Structure 1
Amino acid sequence: MPFVFRTAAVFLAVALLAPSGRAADAPKPNIVLIVADDLGCFELGCYGQTKIKTPHIDKLAQGGAKFTRFYSGSPVCAPSRCVLMTGKHSGHATVRNNVEAKPEGQFPIRAEDVTVADALKAHGYATGAMGKWGLGMFDTAGSPLKHGFDLFFGYNCQRHAHSHYPTYIYRNDKRVELKGNDGKTGKQFTQDLFEEEALGFIEANKAKPFFLYLPFTVPHVAVQVPEDSLNEYKGQLGDDPAYDGKKGYQPHPAPHAGYAAMVTRMDRSVGRVVEKLNALGLEKNTLVLFTSDNGPTHNVGGADSSFFNSAGKLRGLKGSVYEGGIRVPFIAYQPGTIKAGTESDAPLYFPDVLPTLCAFAGTKAPSAIDGISFLPLLKGEKQPTHDFLYWEFSGYGGQQAVIEGEWKAVRQALGMGGVKTELYNLAKDPSEKEDVAAKNPAVLARLEKRLKNEHTPNSNFPLQTIDPKK
């Protein structure tokens, strides 16, 4: 589907939903937000993938709405999740890079940061998270238990999540030992544990409104998966040379088969969550969202984005603010409400999720956020568009990007303190192959002003493209 761009003064009238209103006495709707880890936009069948089987996620897209120009909050894990949870773009958000804490955890969000779970819990929702948090250990202000979640089950620390067979995970702030696991293999695969916990959460809260956040850790490397799933792909993907472990993480005898199997096993979990909703009669009163935290893995740990065409024709991978690093799949599903088989190219991104879910639940979003609700678009009503979309990432020397209409500027810190701003016309050049900055000085100047104005200094995450070195 070709890209369609609008200015801020024009409205998108995309009929994704059969217009319908919720009666005042109707039960509050449930929300399930599923976030894959490092899943490329084109690693799903519904986005054109031909080697990896994802029948359950494909079914959500067929029965709901698929977005083709949805963007993450950042090109890497922690800052992207911070944007998702708080509705602030990465120039205003608390966490702007992956910064490790010792002995375990990452740089925490602040006590005053209001998350999706905070807002929904205050509105009477039961809240649960199963998967990877990455925004602060339990003894910090960033603990998920201090940010609206009644129940947390999984990894708090992102480094810990690099193994799908860890020796322990957490239930709330208590360690749960996983017998039979040694970090490299074992009997308890965490994707399966998250699935089981999610089904139990739904069962326990079937009589009340709930928000279920499922930040799964698949398919982030290491490549690890139970044998029964691996066997589905062994010998099915042609030559599959063993990965020797020299690019990090652990070796694997059949990395292509292993990676595909990880995605398919996650897809199975998505299917079982939806089946559970249907079995309890909750499917029509539950909004299910599926996305990924950033672009596909940059070919470490046995991952092979070229083999799977993970980023399609987009430039860049995880860690880059080019399209391939921040464009992600996004699917919205609610049978009987969202019109089946709809596709939207509306440019939206992670800051928009919080205000959308608040509007969907019937409560006000926190103030001072950067996102806009796309609930009007889902309801077939006129949808205001963003003036611009903005990203910054303090890693890899410092990167910024801004999209305004058909134009995208990318600013990067170079060696020896130099900085370069590139300009691309996404309508003509979606693969960002031709830098047209020299041909469009007025557009370049306007977008460079955006890049400067949207960045707020953060001493914890200095940005070398703007902040002077100290």
Structure 2
Amino acid sequence: MEARLRTQRPRPPTPTSRPRGGPRAPRPHAPPPTHSVPTRGAAAGSKGPGRRRRLSHERGRPDVGPAPPPPASLGALHTAPPRPSPLRGCTPHPSPPRTALAGGGRRLPTQKEAVQIKKQAEPGAPRFCLLRGTHRPRSCSRWSWEHKIWRTVSRDRLKFLSLKMGTLLLWLLFICEARSHAVPTPNFVLLMADDLGIGDPGCYGNKTLRTPNIDRLARGGVKLTQHLAASPLCTPSRAAFMTGRYPIRSGMASRSQVGVFIFSASSGGLPHSEITFAKLLKNQGYSTALIGKWHLGTSCRSSTDLCHHPLSHGFDYFHGLPMTNLRDCKPGAGSVFTRALRLLVFTPLQVIAITLLTLAMLRCLGLVQVPRCVFFCLSFLAALVLGTLLCFLHYFRPLNCFLMRNRDITQQPMSYDNLTQRLTADAAQFIQRNAKTPFLLVLAFLHMHTALFSSKDFAGKSKHGAYGDAAEEMDWSVGQILDVLDELKLANNTLVYFSSDQGAHVEEVTVKGEGHGGSNGIYKGGKANNWEGGIRVPGILRWPGVIQAGLEIDEPTSNMDIFPTVAKLAGSPLPEDRIIDGRDLMPLLQGRSHRSDHEFLFHYCNFYLNAVRWHPQNRTSLERQ
């Protein structure tokens, strides 16, 4: 190979091999070496005195330091025949080799390469060697691998790599910026009152009922002035709140006049096929709890299967009333079955009594021969009806008014003594247990549903009788939850929602004439009807740093909107196999949108459609500070 390379004629360099900015010149031949092969250490180019530093003008590399001084004399060189190089495949190369081109041809080295070869041919310089299978000159020094890299990587490839690295850097910056502006995953505290009117809280205009903690919540968050319940009754409204769907879609809209669950022996309830926000958040790693009123059914085929229990719908913990609070649950508070008893009991008893008296008179006058067995049967029937009434009134309270913790009954019948304090303390303990993990807490108050009750600390303290006492005790409970969030420094990472399942029951009056219903403000109607007073409820949301404080929004919203809002904030996708009637509230709450996504809202009373609310698309909201 060496002989063949020596006999080839020099050719002028190609345009690609011309040094940048310099003239074309013929390839000079380096003179043959006039010295013998250096010693083994010098030939290796690693630690011997013949090693030379790379210069700054070579290969465009920066200067790495002055070259070592040449040997003092040639005495260190011996005249023995050349030894094989310790580097594999390397032999002394006295003449300039031809360099391989990218296309497969060969060319003579450039002028810069020739100068380098000439300098390396001087005494004391490291040898050049040919790698096997190539015709590239290679330095046998420790910098040889850098020569190969800088020879093979072209300027275009460097530009391409720079472009890729720049694109990757831009993507990383974009992801970091997006994460810095992304809404963090919050905790959720959902406070649901029962039969609280929109005219009851002070932040909605009440000047005589003291609700400082609800007002504090409104000052620190957003107040919705057109917040609407999906139904004016407890059970369907709570089903819509949990699922984000109209109750008629989930089968929770009754065709009869009684649209709620009253008896624990009822076999109905929220279907297993329905997805609650508790199920979605539980799948996202949240700890979930429901404390207070459930009222969406308990069992299916037996009293022990508890297929409609809160634990079957995504909640990890439950403590409260599986049914509802009724006047029949509190001794001396009356009964909600008065009208039914008059129709089903007193009327038959009156008919039986009149029949007995008439037959007795006719028999005494001798006008009719009445067998004694007729009197016996009628008397037995009357006793049976009366006994059924007495058994119902006696056993209703223990069979339907009881407290449960998870699947166990803890109090039967339940006692109203400090009941709000007990449930509030349990809610606070749940927050403390899960302070370091994301959690969902639904605190469903038993206030303001009748029977009204309050502890000794609040009884007789308000200006509105028993209703005002219960409202102020509920406000105290709201304050306790807010204080726990502040103490644990969770307020800035917790979305708090406060509302009611429907409007106030303004028709609720005791046998003594005392009104036990709340105020719906300027709106007509109340619970159990679709007038504005029955479905317009308070709506307050607070999330410091994310939701603007002290804002009022006059756009129509629904309690069904909590489902998609909570799901999106928790990072859970919405179910795609069903229609979700709720809409995400965050664009409206954060000011990114000035119009509600609801164009139509349908108002049902049980199974029957009573009204439709139309929100024109060209209408924008009125926001007030």
Larger deviation: 291-300 or 324-333? 291-300
In the other structure, the counterpart of 2:528 is 319
Does structure 1 residue 287 correspond to structure 2 residue 495?
yes
- State which of 335, 341, 345 in structure 1 corresponds to 2:554: 345
Question: 2-side partners of 1:307 and 1:176: how far apart?
Answer: 29
Paired letter, 2:568: A
Root-mean-square deviation over aligned CA pairs: 2.9
Does structure 1 residue 194 correspond to structure 2 residue 423?
yes
| Aligned partners of 2:261 and 2:297 also within 8 Å | no
Equivalent positions of 1:36-55 (< 5 A) are 36-55=193-212
| Aligned partners of 2:326 and 2:449 also within 8 Å | no
Equivalent positions of 1:24-43 (< 5 A) are 28-43=185-200
**Structure 1 residues 369 and 24: alpha-carbon distance in aligned structure 2, compared to 1, 3 A threshold:** same
Question: 2-side partners of 1:379 and 1:280: how far apart?
Answer: 25
In the other structure, the counterpart of 2:311 is 145
Question: 2-side partners of 1:71 and 1:164: how far apart?
Answer: 30
1:362-415 C-alpha deviation (Å, 9 max, x unpaired): 2212232111111111222125521200121237xx4522101279xxxxxxxx
Question: 1-side partners of 2:468 and 2:216: how far apart?
Answer: 18
Larger deviation: 92-101 or 75-84? 92-101
In the other structure, the counterpart of 1:274 is 482
| Aligned partners of 1:355 and 1:365 also within 8 Å | yes
- State which of 107, 131, 155 in structure 1 corresponds to 2:268: 107
**Structure 1 residues 23 and 161: alpha-carbon distance in aligned structure 2, compared to 1, 3 A threshold:** farther
Paired letter, 1:378: L
| Aligned partners of 2:232 and 2:527 also within 8 Å | yes
Does structure 1 residue 375 correspond to structure 2 residue 586?
yes
Question: 2-side partners of 1:101 and 1:134: how far apart?
Answer: 8
In the other structure, the counterpart of 2:572 is 363
1:97-121 C-alpha deviation (Å, 9 max, x unpaired): 4343644457301111000101111
Question: 1-side partners of 2:431 and 2:535: how far apart?
Answer: 31
In the other structure, the counterpart of 2:215 is 58
- State which of 259, 263, 279 in structure 1 corresponds to 2:467: 259
Secondary structure of 2:538's aligned partner: strand
| Greater strand share, structure number | 1
- State which of 614, 617, 620 in structure 2 corresponds to 1:404: 614
In the other structure, the counterpart of 1:169 is 403
In the other structure, the counterpart of 1:253 is none
In the other structure, the counterpart of 1:90 is 247
Secondary structure of 2:588's aligned partner: helix
Secondary structure of 1:61's aligned partner: helix
Question: 2-side partners of 1:103 and 1:372: how far apart?
Answer: 33
Question: 1-side partners of 2:422 and 2:473: how far apart?
Answer: 12
Paired letter, 2:586: L
Paired letter, 1:118: K
Question: 2-side partners of 1:334 and 1:305: how far apart?
Answer: 39
Larger deviation: 158-167 or 100-109? 158-167
| Aligned partners of 1:68 and 1:345 also within 8 Å | yes
| Aligned partners of 2:242 and 2:277 also within 8 Å | yes
Secondary structure of 1:277's aligned partner: helix
Question: 2-side partners of 1:96 and 1:135: how far apart?
Answer: 12
Larger deviation: 309-318 or 199-208? 309-318
In the other structure, the counterpart of 1:81 is 238
In the other structure, the counterpart of 1:226 is 455
Secondary structure of 1:191's aligned partner: helix
CA positional deviation for 1:41: 0.6
Secondary structure of 2:247's aligned partner: coil
**Structure 1 residues 164 and 340: alpha-carbon distance in aligned structure 2, compared to 1, 3 A threshold:** farther
Paired letter, 2:419: T
Does structure 1 residue 390 correspond to structure 2 residue 599?
no
Equivalent positions of 1:14-25 (< 5 A) are 23=180
1:321-349 C-alpha deviation (Å, 9 max, x unpaired): 11100000000011222211100011010
CA positional deviation for 1:316: 0.8
Secondary structure of 1:225's aligned partner: coil
Paired letter, 2:583: I
Secondary structure of 1:232's aligned partner: coil
Question: 1-side partners of 2:549 and 2:484: how far apart?
Answer: 20
1:69-111 C-alpha deviation (Å, 9 max, x unpaired): 0001100100000000011123323211434364445730111
| Aligned partners of 1:387 and 1:404 also within 8 Å | yes
In the other structure, the counterpart of 1:210 is 439
Larger deviation: 199-208 or 98-107? 98-107
Paired letter, 1:175: I
Paired letter, 2:613: I
| Aligned partners of 1:137 and 1:156 also within 8 Å | yes
Does structure 1 residue 155 correspond to structure 2 residue 321?
yes
**Structure 1 residues 289 and 159: alpha-carbon distance in aligned structure 2, compared to 1, 3 A threshold:** closer
Question: 2-side partners of 1:378 and 1:147: how far apart?
Answer: 28
**Structure 1 residues 301 and 22: alpha-carbon distance in aligned structure 2, compared to 1, 3 A threshold:** farther
| Aligned partners of 1:105 and 1:134 also within 8 Å | no
CA positional deviation for 1:24: 8.9
1:408-444 C-alpha deviation (Å, 9 max, x unpaired): xxxxxxxxxxxxxxxxxxx9xxxxxxxxxxxxxxxxx
TM-score in terms of structure 1 length: 0.71
Paired letter, 1:377: L
Question: 1-side partners of 2:247 and 2:266: how far apart?
Answer: 20
**Structure 1 residues 99 and 339: alpha-carbon distance in aligned structure 2, compared to 1, 3 A threshold:** closer
Q: Which protein has the larger Cα radius of gyration, Structure 1 or Structure 2? A: 2
| Aligned partners of 1:390 and 1:402 also within 8 Å | yes
Equivalent positions of 1:444-459 (< 5 A) are none
Which structure 2 segments of 5+ residues have no match?
1-176, 300-304, 332-396
1:151-183 C-alpha deviation (Å, 9 max, x unpaired): 0110111256964798740001100027xxx76
Q: Which has the higher contact order (CA 8 A, sep 6+)?
A: 1
CA positional deviation for 1:315: 1.4
| Greater helix share, structure number | 2
Paired letter, 1:330: G
Question: 1-side partners of 2:183 and 2:192: how far apart?
Answer: 28
1:109-150 C-alpha deviation (Å, 9 max, x unpaired): 111100010111111110000011111215343221111000
Larger deviation: 89-98 or 160-169? 160-169
CA positional deviation for 1:227: 2.3
Question: 1-side partners of 2:522 and 2:404: how far apart?
Answer: 39
